[in-house]
Structure 1
Amino acid sequence: MAPYDPSRRTSGFDAAAEAFRSGADSPRAYLERCLAVIAEREPVVRAFVVVNEAGAREAADASGARWRAGQPLSPIDGMPVGIKDLLETRDMPTQMGCAAYAGNFPRRDNAAVWALREAGAVVLGKTTTAELGGTHPPATTNPFDPARTPGGSSSGSAAAVAAGMVPAAIGSQVGGSIIRPASYCGNWALKPSQGAINRGERQATSMSTHGVHATCANDMWRVSIEIARRAGGDPGRAPLAGPADPPASHRPLTVSVMETEGWEALDDASRAAFEAVVAQIAAAGVTVLRRRDDPAIERLERALVGVREMANTITAWENHWAIRNLVAQHPDGVSARAKATVATAERLGIEGYQDLLRRREAVRSVYATLAPTLDALIAPASPGPAPPWSGDRPGAPLAPRPTGDSVFNTPSSLLGAPVVTVPLTAVGGLPMGIQVVGQPGTDARMTAIARWMGEALRPVVV
């Protein structure tokens, strides 16, 4: 298998749309090429739970008629997309990577799925997820090394995009479930500000967001904004704001390196790759600050100590009623990892949960003090490339992080902040992304800064 090349570029779906408009290509032909890649790579990558070929062909033909009539519904009309199997779809089961939900078929669309159909996108299939969006992994493999994880919990969405099966796919994140898989698979990805894309029925947890994996920044933004323009944000939340066209590239004035607790865990090669990117940013005239340079940055770093555990425990409390009921109904249909979530919540209790919420607000207050002085935070999007994963060993304790470590991702989730993954580095032939994190509501600005990085900086290979 060829090593990952971070210098690879794609013209994205804009080029396809132009070809649809001129008649040089068609949505049906584009779809058939995607299906051919799925047929070739799916036996090893295993990114999909189900592929609705008949429904996708019907949708692609309808899109083709609109393009021929000069009346596309949006710039993504005819784009094949994958949907993480946590989100309901009217024409495919929603089984959530969990044996207890085998055959579950609500026959209704999640708000984001509805919006995609309204924009003319071709909903091609359901992509795999870690069980219930947690940490128990699916069978999906990394497209660049099948012995390694693609990340989780948006495993299939990340892998499908990276393998060239679809140009974009929908994921979701509570801790690191969009950004870490994007890092491991070499994708562009947006985890928006909290609540900026309507989650529909997926409202149970206070830090969950829908987001987009894509092969390029343009597709990432177009899919995100077309959903938000139709479905809006979560109840009581402002929707994703910004232009219909992807935000123009923008060089920031001042950024800060976000180290988190993961900094010391970086291996030498991964740290060297990241520092090479930082050096290029500084050489381009951007002021790059570190924790030693500004007391406010140091306060943030101190406040971020323990947020991985904090975020995971908050989510365990918010999920534990649903999981307890599921275990009661299907005791053999839920993994030991999911059952452990209930035990974690029971140990925490309501007072412990309230204390964590107060601590979360305190961290957010510290972060807000940086808004006047920093354009963005930058950091590795994962602590190195994807780790190997061959399954739990019989008789041994469960592996604590089978889909990788979220230590660089939980800060943005806990802060409710937008973050974009830029596929800029390769370490040992595998992807490792760089993330750009902003203040809540600055999704378009973070996309513009990320685009600048992708266009102005040289990819780094170590």
Structure 2
Amino acid sequence: MTATPLTFHDATRAFADGADTPRAYLERCLETISLRESVVRAWVVTNEAGARKAADASTQRWRQGRPLSPIDGMPLGIKDLLETRDMPTQMGCRAYRGNFPKRDNAAVWALREAGAVVLGKTVTTELGGAHPGPTTNPFDQRRTPGGSSSGSAAAVGARMVPAALGTQVGGSVIRPASYCGNVALKPTQGGINRGERQATSMSTTGIHAGSIEDMWQVAIEIARRAGGDPGRPGLFGPPAPPAARRPAVIGVMETEGWAALDDASKAAFEQVVAQLRAAGVTVMRRADHPMLEAFETSLLGVQAMTSAITGWENHWLFRNLVAQDADAISARSRAVLAMADRMTPEDYRMRLLQREELRLRHAALAPLVDALIAPASPGPAPLWAGDVPGQPLVARPTGDAVFNTPSSGIGAPAVTIPLTTVGGMPMGIQVMAQVNMDAQATATARWMLETLPPVAA
């Protein structure tokens, strides 16, 4: 991995003095898309005419010294689960081909209000689930970019745009960011208004970006305009990116994925742990305190728990799609429907109780550690050549979310940073904080990214 991430926050100084313009910045993004899209395949559709018009308006505002926000003129991709008034929303699913509601998701509306340039819709896995789309990893086309925010992660990793919106229910923001070498924020549950995407209790809108600064600025500009989900206070934090802050105590979160982590990835993570200790940070592990051990114990089965909860909550949507057209969704999505069909309301209640216990165990760690760290994915992006006709479907074709489901189940903020490479491919490190402590997670992640040397294994 050698590409320098594309950033926006450091370009605005040139917008202000006239040395550069948002229109010229957009044209450079379009040139990169033209060069790389045939292989990466990150986009479903782009609106170049609309983007150029928006970039020209932004250029005028910067010229007059009146930008609407620090992200005025920033080209962005929008995951194709989120509605956009000027482009269709097809959700990677045959059942939604040609779906064009002609309205903006709350976060998309907020971005436009902040002056951002909505460039296009990025590929999602089918309905945000496990069935992959056509996108490839920007560092190795033989590998998955991750899912379900495949196109958003790949577009940022390929330097097509400085930021993009994704969504996460299990691991759909943090894992693809890890595979594509991005920073990303999966905020506190409900921290960013999901707009029409309110059907599931763990879905969260998040940000992929080439820098911590752009990541935070996009998130906070949305939250300042659209707030959080109904009944939620929305994202807390300063109007500018939080300053880097060294934590006093970091806890290691192993999860049930630790035992299966390959030796090279484990070694890379342990080098990060060693660097933290060398920088004066106290690092605690499960054997060091009974509350950490109790938390790790509560993580057993979390991946199955989150799958069951989300499967039940998506049950009627999937059932109705199949009723309309038996082939409307893939065999993978039909398997999720079959799992939900076997559940009862009592099963769902028991899963919710399991989730509540996990949340209490995590909240109890607040006096003990400033944040938790873990690999952001179980190693680098796996190879993905597609399903083989006549053989069973490949399990987890976009990678394993085992290190991501804890933050999704808890509803806690997680930030991933591209601090390690394994076999030349990116593997992120994630920082997880307490609920509503998104700024603290960001400050810790920024300090790690700015202070710790990159690790290659």
Whether the 8 Å contact between 2:5 and 2:157 is mirrored in structure 1 is no
CA shift, 1:349, in A, is 1.3
**1:393 Cα deviation after fit:** 1.1
1:239 aligns with 2:234: yes
In 1, Cα distance between equivalents of 2:250 and 2:171: 22
1:146 paired with 2:157, answer no
C-alpha separation between the residues in 2 aligned to 1:309 and 1:447? Answer: 28
Residue 90 in structure 1 maps to residue 85 in structure 2: yes
1:440 to 2:451 alignment: no
User: 1:176 matched to which residue of 2?
Assistant: 171
Superposition pairs for residues 357-368 of structure 1, below 5 Å? Answer: 357-368=352-363
Secondary structure of the equivalent of 1:353?
helix
CA distance in 1, matches of 2:416, 2:361: 23
Aligned residues: 457
Matches within 5 A, 1:181-260: 181-260=176-255
Gaps of 5+ in 2: none
Q: Out of 33-42 and 329-338, give the one that drifted further.
A: 329-338
Cα distance change, pair 11–395 in 1 and its aligned pair in 2 (3 A): closer
Q: Secondary structure at the match of 2:343?
A: helix
TM-superposed deviation, 1:173: 0.1
Among 135, 148, 161, the alignment partner of 2:156 is 161
Map 1:51-450 → 2, pairs under 5 A = 51-450=46-445
Q: 2: CA distance between counterparts of 1:421 and 1:209?
A: 15
Give me the whole-angstrom Cα distance separating, in 2, the residues matched to 1:395 and 1:68. 60
**Which SS does the other structure have where 1:339 is aligned?**
helix
Distance 1:296 1:271 in 2: 23
Offset of 1:439 from its aligned partner? 0.6
Q: Which residue of 2 aligns with 1:458?
A: 453
Distance in 2, matches of 1:110 and 1:407, equals: 29
Distance 2:5 2:186 in 1: 21
SS at match of 1:15: coil
| Displacement after TM superposition at 1:12 (Å) | 2.5
Opposite residue 320 of structure 2, the aligned amino acid is N
Letter of the aligned partner of 1:222 in structure 2? Answer: Q
Q: Is this contact kept in 1: 2:5–2:159, CA < 8 A?
A: no
For residues 9 and 162 of structure 1, what CA distance do their matches in structure 2 show?
9
Q: Distance in 1 between matches of 2:158 and 2:8?
A: 16
Report the secondary structure of 2:10's partner residue: helix
Q: For the residues of structure 2 that align with 1:316 and 1:228, how far apart are their CA atoms?
A: 28
1:11 Cα deviation after fit: 7.8
What CA distance in whole angstroms lies between the structure 2 residues aligned with 1:74 and 1:335? 42
Question: Secondary structure at the residue paired with 1:399?
Answer: coil
**Which ranges of 4 or more aligned residues in structure 1 deviate by more than 2 Å?**
8-12
Q: d(CA) in 2 for partners of 1:379 and 1:117?
A: 35
Give the root-mean-square deviation of aligned CA atoms.
0.8
Opposite residue 390 of structure 2, the aligned amino acid is G
Aligned equivalents of 1:11 and 1:397: distance in 2?
A: 39
Amino acid paired to 1:220:
M
Distance 1:348 1:366 in 2: 26
Give ranges in structure 1 of 5+ residues lacking alignment. none
Deviation (angstroms), 1:15: 1.8
- Do the aligned partners of 2:6 and 2:159 also contact (CA within 8 Å) in 1? no
